Amino acid sequence: MPKTIFVGDTTANDEKTKKILSKILDDKIEQFYVDRERHHAEHMWLQEMMKWSNEIKSSVLKSIVKAVVLGIVALIIAGFIVYKGS
């Protein structure tokens, strides 16, 4: 017959078990604790960086498109000048 570990008042034993398990879990989980305010601030920073990145990407893309369009227009004008000059 197996031996019983807890004898007597099971409510008191349950509370002791909960306290022991809580302490063990707290010790194990402590390294993963994240401060809520710092976590929120980091999310706000990331959101700001994503917004800035999208704005920069948009500006660079607009600049590249403008340069290509102006290059094409310049080639058309140069071609027209050469065509009329001949």
- Could you read off the pLDDT of 48-59 as tens digits, one per residue? 999 999 999 999
pTM for this entry = 0.47
Token pair listed for 86: 């001949």
* 56, 59, 66 from 78: Cα distances, Å: 32, 28, 18
Render pLDDT for 12-50 as a digit per residue (tens, 0 to 9).
678 888 888 888 888 888 888 888 999 999 999 999 999
Nearest to 6 by CA among 14, 24, 20: 14
Give the residue extent of every domain in the chain: 10-85
Q: Which amino acid, one-letter code, is at 5?
A: I
